[in-house]
Amino acid sequence: MGIKIGILVVYFAIMVGIGLYCRKHATDVKGFVLGGRSVGPWLTAFAYGTSYFSAVVFVGYAGQFGWKYGIASTWIGLGNAIIGSLLAWVILGRRTRIMTQHLDSATMPEFFGSRFDSKSLKIGASALIFIFLIPYTASLYNGLSRLFAMAFDIDFTICVIVMAVLTGIYVIAGGYMATAINDFIQGIIMLFGICAVIAAVLQSKGGFTEAMHSLAEVQDPEATAMNGAFASFLGPDPLNLLGVVVLTSLGTWGLPQMVQKFYAINSENAIKKGTIISTLFAVVVSGGCYFLGGFGRLFSDQVDVVANGFDSIIPTMLSGLSDALIGLVVLLVLSASMSTLSSLVIASSSTLTLDFINKNFIKDMSEKTQVRMIRVLIVVFILISVVIALIQYNSSVTFIAQLMGISWGALAGSFLGPLIYGLYWKKTTKSGCWASFIFGAGTMILVMLCPQIFPAVLQSPINAGAFAMIASLILVPVVSLLTPKPSDKLVDECFRCYEAPATVASKVALPDEEELEKHEKNQSKK
C-alpha cells in the first residue's frame, strides 16, 4: 500500500508542477486554449491519443465489448487506430489547421460561426458541447472509482474529488500547454502499462495459447449458439460489433476536444509525424485494451455481470495481479482519465466563454477577462460533472459505455457532417448544419428518454450514435443542395487560405521552372 500511495503522490506532484511551470503560456486566450498554435508532433499526437482513450475505454468499453464479442473486440481498437487516428489526421489535420487559423477560430463553434457567417450556429454548437460533454466527464469518474476501490478500498466520493481537484489545478494554471505536456507523460505510462498488464493477465491463464484454447471452449447459449464464438475472427455478433467500431472510430472526427488538437499543431512536418505517432499509439493502447477485454469470460467464475454490471469485469481481471502491477494499472487508468478530463474541461469552458458569453452577454471582454472567465468555468464544469457522477453512482442510471455513447453520439452526430463538408465543400449551407445539429442531438435525447419508439437495433446508445453520425454525412449535402447557396464572397474568403503558395521539396511535387531557377540561384549565393 505504501508503494502504491507513493507512486500516486509523485505522479500528482509532477502533474501539478507542470501546470505551474506552464503559466507563462496561458496569459492570453490563444495561449491558454491553443498553446499559441506552437505545439509539436509528439505532444499533439499524445494529446490526441490520451484524450481519445480513458477509463471509459479501459474499464467500460473493454469490459463490456470484450465480454460480448470475445477476442473479436480487438477490431474495435484497430478501427480506432485506422479510422479514428490515421484517417482523421490525414483528412482533417491539415485543412483544419489552415482554415481555423485563417478564420482566427480557437474553438469548433467559432469555426462554424465564421465559416457560415452565423451567430446562431455558433451559439447552438457551444450549447451542445457544454451539455453533452458533461455525461462523458461523469463516466470518467465512474470507471476510475472501480479501480481505486479494488486497489485501495477508497470511497468513491474521495476518488472523484481528488481527481477533479488535481486536474483542475494544472489545467487552470497552465492551460493547453500544461495539458499537452502532461498528456505526453501520461501517454508513456499508458503504453508501458497496457503491455505489462496484458502480459500478466495472459500469464495468469497459462499464456496466450492456453488462454485462447480456454476462450474457445466458453459456451453461453444466451449470447450465441456458435461453438468457439468468443475466440473467433468476427465474434458472435459482427453487425453490432461494426456499430461499436463506427461510433468509437468515426466519432472522433466530430468531437470538439479531439478536433481542437489540430488547431494547435505548428507545422506541416508536425502533421506528418503526428499522424504516424498517433496511429501507433492507438494500435497499442486501444488495440491492447480491447484485446485484454476479450479474455474477460475466462474470469466468469469471479465476476457477476448481472449483479455488478460490465464495469466490474476489468477490475476483477486485474485484482489477482501483484501490488506493483496493480499500482501501475491505477496509474495507467488515472493517466488516461485525467488527460481526457483536462481536454474536456478546456473544450467546454473555452467554448462557453468565447462562443456563448463573449459579445452575447458581456460586451467587449478583454483578453484577461476572457482567460479569467475560462478558468472560472473550468471549475464550474468540473463541479457539475462531479455532482452528476456522484448521483449516477448512487443510483442505477446507466453503465459507463452508455454514458459515453450518448455523449459521443450527440456531438459527433451533430458536428461530423458540418465540419467535413465545411472544410471541403463550398456549397455547404447553414441550413445543412442546423439539420445535422437537430437530428444528431435530437436522436440521442430521444434514445435516452424513450428508446421504445426506435427499432430494437437503435435502442442502444452505441448503435444510435453510429446511425446519427452516418445520417449527418447524408443530411448536410442533401439539405445544402435544397437550400439557398451561401454567398460567393463568403465562400471565396474562407477557401482562399488553401490557395496560398507553399514551398515544398521537389520529391513532394514537381517544381515550377521559375521557382527551380530561383532556388538554384539562392543555393549558389549561399
pLDDT digits (tens, 9 = 90+) for 225-261: 677 888 888 888 888 898 889 888 998 999 998 998 8
Q: Specify the amino acid at residue 330.
A: V
For the chain, the residue count is: 526
The CATH number assigned to the domain holding 368 equals 1.20.1730.10
Mutual orientation of helices 256-264 and 323-351 as an angle, nearest 10°? 80
**How confident is the model over 142-188, as pLDDT tens digits?**
666 666 666 666 777 887 888 788 888 888 988 888 888 888 988 89
Q: How far apart are CA 481 and CA 418, in angstroms?
A: 14
CB 31 within 8 A of CB 373: no
Q: Are 161 and 386 in contact (CB under 8 A)?
A: yes
At residue 39, φ and ψ (nearest 5 deg) are -90, 130
Other Cβ atoms within 10 Å of 245 Cβ, number: 22
Q: What's the pLDDT score for residue 96?
A: 94
Residue 414 belongs to a domain:
no
In a domain, 472, yes or no: no
Has residue 511 been placed in a domain? no
146 in any annotated domain: yes
Whether 455 contacts 465, CB under 8 Å: no
Burial class (CB in 10 A: 0-12, 13-18, 19+), 318: buried
Cβ atoms < 10 Å from Cβ of 157? 15
**Residues in the chain, pLDDT under 70:** 1, 4, 142-153, 221-223, 225, 395-402, 506, 508-516, 519-520, 523-526
Domain that holds residue 217: 2-395
Q: Which of 58, 78, 462 is nearest to 293 (CA)?
A: 58
In a domain, 346, yes or no: yes
Question: Are the C-beta atoms of 67 and 305 separated by less than 8 Å?
Answer: yes
Ordered DSSP codes for 420-446: HHHHH-TT--HHHHHHHHHHHHHHHHH
Name 518's Cβ contacts closer than 8 Å, sequence gap at least 6: none
Q: What is the per-residue pLDDT for 213?
A: 92
Domains in the chain: how many in total? 1
Residue with cell 448503435: 463
What does each C-alpha distance from 470 to 95, 415, 463, 482 come to in angstroms?
Answer: 21, 11, 11, 19
Residue 510 placed within a domain: no
- Asked if the structure places residue 403 within a domain, the reply is no
Q: Are 138 and 385 in contact (CB under 8 A)?
A: yes
Q: According to the model, what pLDDT value does residue 509 have? A: 65
pLDDT reported for residue 117? 94
Residue type, position 223, single letter? A
Q: How far apart are the C-alpha atoms of 113 and 395, rounded to whole Å?
A: 39
Whose CA is closest to 465, among 315, 190, 253? 253
Give the DSSP per-residue string, 130-197. Answer: HHHHHHHHHHHHHHHHHHHHHHH---HHHHHHHHHHHHHHHHHHHHHHHHHHHHHHHHHHHHHHHHHH
Across 169-196, b (16+ Cβ under 10 Å) vs e yields bbbbbbbbbbbbbbbbbbbebbbebbeb
C-alpha cell read off for 488? 460567393
Instruction: Return the axis-axis angle of helices 156-204 and 41-52, rounded to nearest 10°.
Output: 100
In a domain, 173, yes or no: yes
**Quick check: 141 and 160 in contact, CB under 8 A?**
yes
- First-to-last CA distance in the chain? 64
Q: What is the pLDDT of residue 398?
A: 47
> Which of these, 318, 344, 303, lies nearest to 193 by C-alpha position?
318
